[in-house]
Structure 1
Amino acid sequence: MANTKSAEKRNRQAQKRRARNTAVRTTVKNAVKKARETLATKDTTKSADAVKNATRTLAKAASKGVLHPRNAARRIARLAKAAKAAKA
């Protein structure tokens, strides 16, 4: 338990950040999952939109500091590679 006012404030801030980061991570996971599912169906128009949306959410999460930039870049590259393979 926090003993000082500043420690209590830091704790409140950490709780807010943790809640925000969890929400962003969940949206990222859902977007990537949806993209992978649409790629499996071979529907090119829906899959292109889903991959674009997942790429956007991953990039946003990286810019906000929720994900490490290289982690996001790696996931984006894998999605793009899967999209290219599904297209061919």
Structure 2
Amino acid sequence: MKRWAMVLLLALVIAAFLSPFASPHPDGLERVAEDLGFLKKGESPVLRFSPMPDYTVATINDERVSTALAGVTGTLITLAFAWGWTKLISK
């Protein structure tokens, strides 16, 4: 198996099986926004219509499966963006 395929497989396995165990506590920026009282001001219409708000897939009720699917989807989107960007700048 090619090296890039192994790396992709590893990234997808990590996204699928480890993301459901991520900390439920807010990240640093969200925590500061909570502490300083401007968290609600940061919620724009873009976030309300996000395809994966809070790293979940809205149509799936099982929280762990939803988070795993969001992790895999995010990994694939990031890979596609990076691949496209490198193709664009390498020309």
TM-score of the superposition, structure 2-length normalised? Answer: 0.31
- Give the number of the structure whose residues are more often helix, by fraction: 1
User: What is the TM-score when the length of structure 1 is the normalising length?
Assistant: 0.32
Structure number with larger C-alpha Rg: 1
